[in-house]
Amino acid sequence: MKNYILVLSIFALSVGVTACKSTQNIADNAHNSKNSLDWQGVYTGVTPCADCEGIQTILRIDTNNNYQLETSYLGKVTKPFIEKGTFSWDKSGGRIKLDNSVEATSPSYYLVGENQLIQLNSDGKPVMSELASKYILKKENNAIVEKYWKLVELNGRPVTPPAEGEREAHLMLKTLDNRITGNGGCNGFGGTYEILPGNRIRFSQILSTMMACPNLKDEQELFKVLETVDNYSYSNDTMTLNKARMAPLAKFVAVYF
């Protein structure tokens, strides 16, 4: 019950800020979630599910009002459902609606709080049950997860762009089970990763397909890098994988589709 009361309190505070300012004839909606919080980013959580272990939810929102919602039904052998579209803010600046969301299969409304999104019901109101705290998505503090990272440099030299019909080398760090997936330019690969304090990172259990391609040099170097690196750097949608204080071993840029 305490968690439910907390959710209701946050909702009331968010809506009440605008109502109060309106009463005072203040034209702008200062200090609401939209213009006062660093709300863009990736939010994750496991929400209740009627016939599965839970719904692993990953919601990305950006400053261009685009969103990507990925849901996975835990305990079921199904592929993640990915939905993309745009979202809009309500007049209070405290709640967003996924405009392209299909309400029959995914939630549409979220209350925006400090480093969290609260999933609301189909009427845009807090879920009224003892499970209220289970509908809170927490913001990922790490900016490198849930992004498509295109490889652009290996061991200090530029990576040759793929020829027509070939795959580009890339990787993604998925929040679900801390999985890394990607392609070396020929073979797909996967494994696990662990992000530790101090921008340290560790990859393990990296496995790849065994296709034969004309030039596997870059791919083999990339796989060696993943075995070697112990830290990363990130700035302005550029990520480097490093070993100790040596020069960056691999450089990636974020690609948004």
Q: Check if CATH label 2.40.128.640 holds for domain 2-139.
A: yes
Q: What is the pLDDT of residue 11?
A: 52
105 pLDDT more than 80 = no
Per-residue pLDDT tens over the stretch 65-75: 999 898 889 88
Q: What is the pLDDT of residue 155?
A: 94
Which 3-state string (H, E, C) describes the chain? CHHHHHHHHHHHHHHHHHHHHHHCCCCCCCCCHHHHCCCCEEEEEEECCCCCCEEEEEEEECCCCEEEEEEEEECCCCCCEEEEEEEEECCCCCEEEECCCCCCCCCCEEEEECCEEEECCCCCCCCCCCCHHHHEEEECCCCCCCCEEEEEEECCEECCCCCCCCCCCEEEEECHHHEEEEECCCCEEEEEEEEECCCEEEEEEEEECCCCCCCCHHHHHHHHHHHHCCEEEEECCEEEEECCCCCCCEEEEEECC
At 101, the pLDDT band (50, 70, 90 cuts) reads low
Pick the range with the lowest mean pLDDT from 90-94, 143-147, 174-178: 174-178
Highest mean pLDDT of the ranges 34-43, 134-143, 148-157: 148-157
Q: What is the pLDDT of residue 178?
A: 87
Q: What is the pLDDT of residue 182?
A: 97
Architecture per CATH, 148-255: Beta Barrel (2.40)
29 pLDDT more than 70 = no
At 21, the pLDDT band (50, 70, 90 cuts) reads very low
28 pLDDT more than 80 = no
Domain chopping of the chain, boundaries: 2-139, 148-255
* pLDDT, average across residues 50-74: 89
Per-residue pLDDT tens over the stretch 38-50: 898 888 899 999 8
* pLDDT, average across residues 21-27: 40
Q: What is the pLDDT of residue 136?
A: 95
Percentage of residues in the chain having pLDDT higher than 70 = 86
Percentage of residues in the chain having pLDDT higher than 90 = 48
* pLDDT, average across residues 166-185: 92
Q: What is the pLDDT of residue 180?
A: 97
The answer to whether the 2-139 and 148-255 domains have the same CATH topology is: yes
